[in-house]
């Protein structure tokens, strides 16, 4: 147990260097540090996804981390790198779901048995949640990624650009459009024009 205790004190960069050298012993520590953040991000990037799906994708993220650790560059924050991987996982999962024809994104409502990480709350709360989800779903995938990473995960424009491999200027453009769309969608739903 002593080794594990010491391992927990190793920096992200040190653990990543170990993974890059083929030493998997740091993987569980990285998982412990970041799995909840990644799982939350996935739930927010895929507003109608279930907790079970998010957990599966979280595991996929860490598999990619292990297999591509040698591509990680220390100058970037690990969190940004992980967010980029998670965003790509969500996007590709959504593509798979689309291709199976299972995702009826527009006008889809949350069924009573819908699997979410939280218990169904009072109607009013559920309504507010649904409004936000619908507003988020009104964004394009690329807008939603930038929007969630900036507004909810607190990444800077530069970090988002690095994690999604896009230009910083593109981050700001997408963010502005997303913010406008979100504001309008939430206002509309609040005044009764939202989806039913």
Partner 1 sequence: MTCSLRDSYLDETLVPEEGARFEQHLATCGACEAQLRAWEQAEAALQDWAEERVGRTWRSDESQRQAELILARHRERHGQRRRAVVSLALAAAASFFLALLLFGGDGPERGTWEAEILYREGSSSEISQDILSVLGSGRLVAQLGEDRVGLGDAATVRVLGREHGNVQLRLEQGSIGVEAAKRREDETLVVQAGDFAVRVVGTRFRVSRPADGGLVVAVDEGIVEVSTPGQRWWLERGTTLAVDASGTAATHQREEVDSQLDLLLSPAKQVLPATEPADVVPSSDVAPPLGVATPPEPAPPASDVEAAEPSPLPQAPALEAPTPVAPPQLDLAALRTQLAKGQAPEVVDALEGHLSEDPSSVSGWSLLATARRKAGDPAGAIEAHRQVIQRGSRSQAAKARYEAARLLQRRPGGHEEAVELFEALLEDPGALRGLQPEIRLHLSRSMRAVGRSSEADALLQELIATWPGTAAAEAARGELSTKPL
Interface with partner 1, residue 54, by CB under 8 A? yes
Q: How far is CA 114 from CA 40, 43, 52, 118, 175, in A?
A: 17, 14, 11, 10, 30
CA distance 43 to 8: 27
Least gap, CB of 163 to partner 1 (angstroms): 17
Least gap, CB of 107 to partner 1 (angstroms): 19
Task: Please give the structure tokens belonging to residue 163.
Answer: 């994690």
Interface with partner 1, residue 191, by CB under 8 A? no
Q: Is 111 helix (H, G, I), strand (E, B) or coil?
A: coil
Q: Site residues for partner 1, window 99-158 (CB under 8 A)? A: 117-118, 121, 128-129, 131-133, 135, 150-152, 157
Length of the chain: 196
CA distance 6 to 170: 42
Q: Pick the stretch among 15-23, 90-98, 99-107, 137-145 that binds partner 1 (CB under 8 A).
A: 15-23
CA distance 62 to 69: 10
Least gap, CB of 99 to partner 1 (angstroms): 22
Interface with partner 1, residue 87, by CB under 8 A? no
Q: Pick the stretch among 23-31, 88-96, 100-108, 159-167 that binds partner 1 (CB under 8 A).
A: 23-31
Interface with partner 1, residue 35, by CB under 8 A? yes
Instruction: Select 5 or 101, whichever has its Cβ closest to partner 1.
Output: 5
DSSP state of 150: I
* The only residue of 9, 101, 107, 113 in contact with partner 1, by rule CB under 8 A: 9
Q: How big is the chain by its Cα radius of gyration, in Å?
A: 18
Q: Pick the stretch among 47-55, 91-99, 100-108, 137-145 that binds partner 1 (CB under 8 A).
A: 47-55
Interface with partner 1, residue 24, by CB under 8 A? yes
Instruction: Select 6 or 101, whichever has its Cβ closest to partner 1.
Output: 6
CA distance 150 to 160: 7
CA distance 163 to 32: 21
Instruction: Select 40 or 97, whichever has its Cβ closest to partner 1.
Output: 40
């Amino acid at each position: 147990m002593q080794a594990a205790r010491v391992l927990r004190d190793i920096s992200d960069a040190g653990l990543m260097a170990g993974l890059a050298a083929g030493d998997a012993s740091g993987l569980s520590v990285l998982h412990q540090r970041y799995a909840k953040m990644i799982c939350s991000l996935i739930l927010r990037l895929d507003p109608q996804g279930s907790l079970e799906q998010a957990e599966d994708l979280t595991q996929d993220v860490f598999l990619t981390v292990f297999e591509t650790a040698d591509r990680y560059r220390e100058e970037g924050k690990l969190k940004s790198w992980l967010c980029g991987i998670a965003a790509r996982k969500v996007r590709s999962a959504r593509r798979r779901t689309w291709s199976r024809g299972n995702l009826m994104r527009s006008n889809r409502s949350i069924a009573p048995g819908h699997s979410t990480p939280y218990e169904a709350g009072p109607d009013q709360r559920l309504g507010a949640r649904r409004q936000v989800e619908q507003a988020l779903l009104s964004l394009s995938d690329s807008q939603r990624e930038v929007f969630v990473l900036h507004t909810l995960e607190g990444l800077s424009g530069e970090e988002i650009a690095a994690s999604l491999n896009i230009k910083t200027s593109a981050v700001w453009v997408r963010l502005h459009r997303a913010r406008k769309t979100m504001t309008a969608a939430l206002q509309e739903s609040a005044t009764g024009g939202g989806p039913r």
